Structure 1
């Protein structure tokens, strides 16, 4: 993932319908994901998850294609449990996912154990 941004929105009492309370933006290549906490008229929070992807049209212009999920508090636990279970399943059963993670960990370990080379120590008699 390329970047994560947080945004907190101050609530204004004059407009209580679909009030945005808190946001997190994740930029991942061509896609951007928005996690927005919003408030209903009765001050109950819900989550909207939006995937936004820039699509180019034939004439060179572009438009954003968006997909949105609304998640209400009574479904948070079931959603989180199912998401965690599915991610665990993918990690355990997709060989490409496992090998990519192992390779990444190996690279990180090798990089941590390598001695730092001193490139500023030059002997001019050898030149």
Structure 2
């Protein structure tokens, strides 16, 4: 019985079906699609933050946080995330030359906004 458990645990922890990495300063975000023991897909989101740099004798130290998001919750989660991202974009536009333009009525200037694109997810 223990061998079966170890075999399942090994497979589930190591098998990443799809993955994306977002690097942001001292933080790295991993978005991995995995399969549970019932072959249901879920998203494992990991934030890895470097809290101590490594030197000659020591390895860097990371703090990790995980969120597991199952299929039945993805639409609700994306809707809430989109609303929150839009709020941030509306109140604190991000300026980046590679992103869409945004007009700021208060200053009368055009800026670039990372949140100008619409999300469209279908299942």
Question: Which band: TM-score by shorter chain?
Answer: 0.5 to 0.7
51, 54, 59: which one aligns with 1:55: 51
Partner of 1:28: 24
> Per residue, is there more helix in 1 or in 2?
1
Alignment of 1:3-18 (within 5 A): 15=8, 17-18=12-13
Q: Which runs of 4+ in 1 moved over 3 A?
A: 14-19, 104-108
Q: Deviations over 1:5-56 (max 9, x none)?
A: xxxxxxxxx7554532111111111111100000011111000110101111
Larger Rg: 1
Gaps of 5+ in 2: 1-6, 102-109, 113-123
Partner of 2:85: 87
Please tell me the root mean square deviation across aligned C-alpha atoms, in Å.
Answer: 3.1
Partner of 1:117: none
Q: If the length of structure 1 is used for normalisation, what is the TM-score?
A: 0.59
* Pairs aligned (count): 91
Partner of 2:66: 68
Gaps of 5+ in 1: 1-13, 109-127
